[in-house]
């Protein structure tokens, strides 16, 4: 049976809703459990400030470091668009870094196959995040733990 544009649109819309729900999870464990089901076991991942990776273990590692730095991070989908099996999601990320609020905007390009992510490329300017971290000494221990955690693996 041939997939119609309407079927693909429905599937893409469902993925965006699930993506938004994942970013609303209250903790790292819920976040990872939610996204593991949305991402293929061999998903290709790319984002600033993290090494590119493949698979669920890379997904776990990329986001473990982020949650170590900003434990209360959450994301809100602001806009999205699709083209074929590609979903573009504008996401506002917010949390607390060094006892003060922080926020930035990212745009994720997610490539889907049968409604499951096979590739996620996140785009954002990391400079404000880096500078904010450096200007907040109370965030340095978390930053150090996130860096050491990665190297220990």
Q: What is the pLDDT of residues 112-152, one digit of tens each?
A: 999 999 999 999 999 888 888 888 888 777 777 776 655 55
Q: How far apart are CA 11 and CA 43, in angstroms?
A: 18
Q: What SS3 state is found at 135?
A: helix
Say what the pTM is: 0.87
Q: How far apart are CA 140 and CA 99, in angstroms?
A: 11
Q: What SS3 state is found at 101?
A: strand
> What was the pLDDT predicted at 1?
56
- H helix and E strand count, the chain: 5, 6
pLDDT of 3 strictly over 60: yes
Over residues 6-32, the mean pLDDT reads: 94
Provide, rounded to the nearest whole percent, the portion of the chain with pLDDT above 70: 93
Residue 60 contacts residue 43 (beta carbons within 8 Å): no
Over residues 35-51, the mean pLDDT reads: 95
Provide, rounded to the nearest whole percent, the portion of the chain with pLDDT above 90: 70
> What was the pLDDT predicted at 5?
79
In angstroms, the Cα distances linking 24 to 46, 65, 72 are 21, 18, 10
> What was the pLDDT predicted at 13?
95
Handedness of CA 53, 59, 61, 65 (dihedral sign): positive
Q: How far apart are CA 16 and CA 89, in angstroms?
A: 8
Domains and CATH numbers, the chain: 5-152 (3.10.450.50)
pLDDT tens digits, 70-118: 999 999 999 999 999 999 999 999 999 988 999 999 999 999 999 999 9
The mean pLDDT value of the chain amounts to 90
């Amino acid at each position: 049976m041939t997939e119609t544009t309407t079927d693909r649109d429905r599937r893409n819309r469902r993925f965006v809703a699930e993506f938004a729900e994942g970013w609303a999870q209250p903790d790292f464990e819920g976040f990872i459990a939610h996204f593991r089901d949305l991402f293929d076991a061999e998903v290709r991942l790319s984002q600033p400030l993290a090494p590119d990776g493949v698979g669920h273990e890379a997904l776990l590692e990329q986001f473990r470091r982020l949650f170590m730095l900003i434990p209360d991070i959450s994301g809100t989908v602001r806009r999205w668009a699709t083209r074929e099996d590609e979903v573009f999601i504008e996401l506002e990320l917010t949390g607390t870094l060094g006892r003060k609020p922080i926020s930035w905007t990212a745009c994720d390009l997610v490539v889907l196959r049968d409604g499951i992510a096979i590739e996620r490329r996140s785009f954002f300017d990391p400079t404000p995040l880096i500078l904010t971290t450096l200007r907040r000494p109370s965030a340095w221990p978390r930053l150090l733990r996130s860096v050491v955690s990665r190297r220990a693996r």
